[in-house]
A and B are shown apart, each in its own frame.
Chain A
Amino acid sequence: MGHRMPNQPAMDPAPTSNPLGDELRGARTAKPCALVIFGATGDLTKRKLVPSLMGLAKDGLLPPGFAVVGFARRAWTDADFRRELADGVRQFGRPDTIGHFESLADAFSFHQSDFGEAAGYEALAARLDQLDRARGTAGNRLFYLATPPSSYSAILQNLAATGLSKEKDGRFARVIIEKPFGRDTATAQALNEQVRAAFRERQVFRIDHYLGKETVQNILALRFANGIFEPLWNEKFVDHVQITVAESIGVGSRGGYFEESGIIRDMIQNHLMQVLTLVAMEPPAALTADAVRDEKVKVLKAIRSFKPDEVAAATVRAQYTRGSFGGEDAKGYREEEGVAPESMTETYAAARLQVNTWRWANTPFFLRSAKRLPRRVTEVAIHFKQPPQLLFEDGKPHQPNVLLLRIQPDEGVALRFGAKVPGPNVRIRDVRMDFRYGTAFGGETADAYERLLLDAMLGDGTLFARADEVEEAWRIVDSIVAGWKQSGARPDEYVAGTWGPERAESLLGPGRAWRKP
């Protein structure tokens, strides 16, 4: 009697033949697989990936046959690797997950190789075959590129050359690619070409951790699971939309990296554009990966590229200068380590985008992201139009109604509206209805990476960016960057710990103001 791996596809019957199959259909449990992390000695593995895997283990969502291979250049042993990961799970994992790591520690091994060394991949293939036998990983592979982008090319080429990227006999081979995905349209297209040479699109999972956040996913739930919002969700009722991703920290030790990207490449091209597409998209025909992503791409395609001479009026860029933060002095951007004294890189960017569809024809979307603002906050604010007739307080306009989707922190949804102040006079005051995730649901919330790792194991690409989505987002960003470059003007300035440069207010137009969340 020979041994066989669990879930070996050649013997798998059709799912309908299993009389108990509905127990599996409802469960979000993946098939057995081996996860190979390239760049496994980096921070991402220790702080996010392995703590998230242990969160999945805690919730019983890891597949029965599972193994992790760390692939990196350092001369680590399996024991070194496990020690480092255990430390990460203790520091960054959900409560009570270290026990899961300890019981699964044997599933983690380290593979030392240079990313460009073909022999290292031959040895990796042999190691994965051995894991199939020893740990029942069933020939399924998930490759995670957690390296600097400069290593992507070598890894992709070698995965293709050794046949590790090929799917055969029903076994899956998938790749997860971390941002940044290119630094402009041309480099993103080139990278997509390299990816396509090794993998088919359905095997590729371009990760943007914002999409793994419950509150970002809740944008779709709020819009499409409720009858009351969608009828108002258009240019007839919405005056404008503000999307803000603010960070209170400066660039810190990432000055060198940030000089190359700036806030527009680091945040707007990916996180803000993703949130924008979810807010502005049409209802998908189904909640399948391609149906959702088709609608998201349509939004990006409906945003026209800027001509260089339009950029100054439609955008603001700025750098933070010396100020005070939390009662302490804060350096200006050009004083930060790794930053050139004459740097032109923006730490604040705001843009007015127009989604040219019937739904949004006259409703501008204002995107803003920056470092060294007073608070760390991510939110979407839907500002509604004033009522057609102002009956109260001598026709004085009230504060507009705002539907606020708070993505972090204090996740939730709030609606601001006017109410009569009790008393003999008719006076209107703003009040707020507030839903807070932590209050309504309580419990511990899984990290975004947990959801995304599980989805990649399950082969569900809904929460990952598709190649055309990435390229369309770059097209818009490229046109802004080109306009800035052509003008040659220095970025505006704002004092660290304030809400940005003065000129940002004029971007919105009369009667509107940036929120100070």
Chain B
Amino acid sequence: MSGPALLRTAPVHAEWKRIPEALRSLWRACLPDQQGADVARSLAINFVAVAAAAEEDALRETVDKLVRRTPCRAFLLLLDPAARPGTATLAATTRTHGALRDIVLEEIAVRLPASAMPQITGLVRPLLENDLPNHLYWATRLPADESTLDALASMCDHLIVDSKRFGAVARELDAVQQRRRRGHRVTDLTWLRLRPWRRALAEAFDRFPWQPGAPVTGTIRHGGNGLAAAQLLANWLQARTQAKVALDPTGGPTALCPERVALAVAGCDIELTTGGPQVRVSVSTPERCDLPFHVPQSRGTDGDLVGAAVDLG
């Protein structure tokens, strides 16, 4: 099965004020060689991403994945303490399918120190494509001073964060919640990553009669990178079942999701463990022990999850 091919133009460097001209030169660069052939711009969203410069490769991978489903104009704002603001690097990606050629990515990458971020809204706002939804992907931890985030978020319809990147997990999760209470649309990629765990727990609770108010206790074992996921899952269980869930941080350091969830619910035991690409779910009640069942783990890369978040947002 042969799919469409993606072609990327050579990068073009431009001063900030010359970005519109540089974009036009990119469109010309995307034109096919043969005479009479045409190229269409097929942008579906504006995508503004903020990340540490050290994360540039990961961010580009995310954008590459995103444009396979959602063509966009992408602003990559890379925080680099050593950078001198004032120039941008532009590139475009076209998708060719037979004789058809579409521009699916117009990328404007800017490196700048955090101190220059207040200027960035003035750069980005006039370059946002009209009439398209604007998504802000904050691919770094939430700052204590959220004024720059607020300024960028105010231009956008939807904020995407990933709490796996949070440093002060409790404070930053709380900041996200407060933002939602103020009416902002916020999607946390870690919450999407947890979907198989949520589904597995929901299926487990489907296997015995639940009495509201029944005591629920348990533990969630996680590693260093899985703290935010464990906390989100614990918060969710507490909100839905008044569960008292302890976090056990003794898991392996790399996993982004919990390693094990064990719950005791009015004489019933639920255990979720990871086994390769699946979550294994065991449920036993005083009367019986169900055969374990499996739920596939999230296969999504950050790019897939950002794509899913854009669909949701």
Contact = CB atoms under 8 A, between A and B. Distances in A.
Contacts of B241: 19-20
Interface in B176-214: 195-196, 198-199, 201-203, 205-212
B71 A21 contact: no
A426 B1 CA distance: 48
B291 A5 contact: yes
Contacts of B291: 3-6, 65, 136
A440 B103 CA distance: 11
Interface in A12-64: 12-13, 15, 17-24, 27, 29, 32, 60, 64
A66 B65 CA distance: 31
B68 interface: yes
Given A2-B288, A3-B290, A64-B295, A23 B69 contact: no
Contact of B95 (A23, A60, A442): A442
A21 B206 contact: yes
Given A136-B293, A439-B102, A440-B71, A20 B201 contact: yes
Interface in B95-135: 95, 97, 100, 102, 104
Interface in B135-178: none
B3 interface: yes
Size range of the interface on B?
A: 35 or more
A12 B295 CA distance: 19
A1 B202 CA distance: 23
A1 B198 CA distance: 27
A80 interface: no
Contact of A60 (B209, B210, B287, B296): B296
Which one of A13, A15, A434 has the highest number of Cβ atoms from chain B below 10 Å of its Cβ? A13
Contact of B208 (A11, A442, A444): A11
Interface residues of A, number: 38
B4 A19 contact: no
B199 A29 contact: yes
Interface in B272-313: 284, 287-291, 293-296, 299, 307
Contact of B293 (A64, A434, A443): A64
Contact of A19 (B1, B40, B212): B212
Given A4-B290, A5-B291, A23-B198, 9 more contacts: A2-B289, A64-B294, A95-B1, A436-B100, A439-B104, A440-B44, A442-B70, A442-B95, A444-B3
30 contacts: A2-B288, A3-B289, A3-B290, A3-B291, A4-B288, A4-B289, A5-B290, A6-B291, A12-B207, A17-B210, A18-B206, A19-B210, A19-B240, A19-B241, A21-B206, A23-B195, A23-B198, A24-B199, A27-B199, A32-B293, A60-B299, A64-B295, A95-B1, A136-B293, A410-B100, A439-B104, A440-B42, A440-B71, A441-B70, A442-B95
